[in-house]
Structure 1
């Protein structure tokens, strides 16, 4: 049998900067991000343990709950800060914001759409491991016309 999937989209606003970038994105700026998460289950393994969820890959509300807890909640209206950045200004901005009680998310990667897509895939697959589903695809839109996509290897 084949694989079945469901997909849900989310949006949030977030600020970042790209250290050492040779262009406007080296400056502190923000985007309205859109995230698309696809989860997959083998068709012969659809949920069967409860009548309410029978025949589902995963209940959409369960997908929404996990993505909001793990990604949207922490990242929404935050300054995402690369702890390994060589940009002194980025470190100073993060420290000032933290001192003032502002929302700062520290990551160990440069906060590009590509790196965030890979990170979100890893985080979400770890959370869904017990559910018997895999996150098979993540898309992160940085603008309405530009996105990065990562697909789980088969």
Structure 2
């Protein structure tokens, strides 16, 4: 069975504080977050921007989070004010939030993995089988 894998990476800037954290991360601070997404599919699809079944997913759809917060993304926001209840602002939960919101925009059958980093040496990944 043929398989296509699409990967993309982008950054966005945001501030946050981890609720009830005993240390510096409990205070408001900012990061340049790096996000890596992988989308895998056994068939190609059309997208909101292209009517032909020629892609796993549209890069524009995958990169929604890099848009300015006032345009529906996460760039230059305070994550504590933007993420819905139930999502803490750890890298793990930010990865899950980006996964959940992105997955809703993808065709059925597309497998997704999201990785988020607050610094070059540490990553959190989320995927759901």
Q: Determine which of 41, 66, 70 is the counterpart of 1:72.
A: 66
Per-residue deviation, 1:39: 0.9
Deviation at 1:2, TM superposition (A): 4.7
RMSD across aligned C-alpha pairs, in angstroms? 2.1
Gaps of 5+ in 2: 68-72
Shift of 1:134: 2.0
Ranges in structure 1 where 5+ consecutive residues have no aligned partner: 82-103
Shift of 1:40: 1.1
Match of 1:115 in 2: 93
Of 114, 123, 126, the match for 1:147? 123
Q: SS of 1:124's equivalent?
A: helix
Residues 10, 133 of structure 1: alpha-carbon distance in 2 compared, 3 angstrom cutoff: farther
Give the secondary-structure state (helix, strand or coil) at the position aligned to 2:99: helix
> Partner residue of 1:86?
none
The 2-side partners of 1:38 and 1:4 are apart by 10
Aligned residues: 119
Q: Does 1:127 align with 2:105?
A: yes
- The answer on 1:105 being equivalent to 2:82 is yes
Greater Rg, structure 1 or structure 2?
1
Cα drift, residue 151 of structure 1: 2.1
Cα deviation code 1:89-130 (max 9, x no counterpart): xxxxxxxxxxxxxxx52431211110111111111110113x
1:142 Cα deviation from its structure 2 partner: 1.0
Q: CA deviation at 1:135?
A: 4.3
Equivalent residue number for residue 26 of structure 1: 26
Per the alignment, residue 89 of structure 1 pairs with none
Map of 2:70 onto structure 1: none
- Which protein has the bigger helix share? 1
User: What CA distance in whole angstroms lies between the structure 2 residues aligned with 1:137 and 1:122?
Assistant: 10
